Amino acid sequence: MFLTFELTVAKPAIVVLFVFLSLFSYILGPYLLYLVEAGHVAVLTHVILEDEIPTNQIRFGLTEVRTNFASVTGLFVLDLAIRRVLRQLNAIINRIVSSLTESLSSGGRQQEAGVIQGVVGIVQLALNITISYVDKAILANIYRSDAENNWKPAKDGVLLYAMTWKPVLASALIISTVFYGPLIVVGYFSEEILDALGGEEAVIAQIERSCLAFRTSDSCLPSSSCSAY
């Protein structure tokens, strides 16, 4: 009977705990992080406009977020929607690229397949960077205007972001190219690089010798990947 009572009490508690953890993982956790981001945007906006750093950055950010709490919450919902759209768009692009690269690889054109993957990676990262900061631009314009009704500065923020899409996209492409560019070069010239290093077997042998040297030295920990050799 006592065991039955414990199970009766434990089941609702487990359900409540599961619901709380789910809410925290999908809503509360990201929302708290977004509030922190909103505070960062407030501080950066002040630094850009006033050319000075607030005395107490944390307090300044909290004050701005509290003052514009409704707008920040609304932009959090917009941020979630943007992320969802980006995930779906990236999934579609990945499926198309995967089928294309598989057909190229099966035809013995691995280099072309690697280049396509790298170029698509650059475009994807650039689009993600460009689109992901729409809500931040709106929020910065709301902080800048300091108006009682945030609807107009929000609209102005969208327009300003749309008007500057070329430099924003160009900057995003530069960042993406710096990140993915070396991978494309290495992928395209992988055979030439291996030949210059003495072939694939020579490279593997050199890696094994390096790991063996680390294993016999004090710098290689037991949990290291070197222990696999």
- Say yes or no to pLDDT of 223 above 50: no
Instruction: Please give the Cα distance from 157 to 71 (Å, whole number).
Output: 13
Question: Is residue 173 over pLDDT 70?
Answer: yes
Q: What are the tokens at 113?
A: 């397949």
Mean pLDDT to the nearest integer, 85-109? 79
Q: Are 173 and 127 in contact (CB under 8 A)?
A: no
154-163 confidence digits (pLDDT tens): 878 888 888 8
Q: What is the pLDDT of residue 2?
A: 45
Q: Are 121 and 136 within 8 A, CB to CB?
A: no
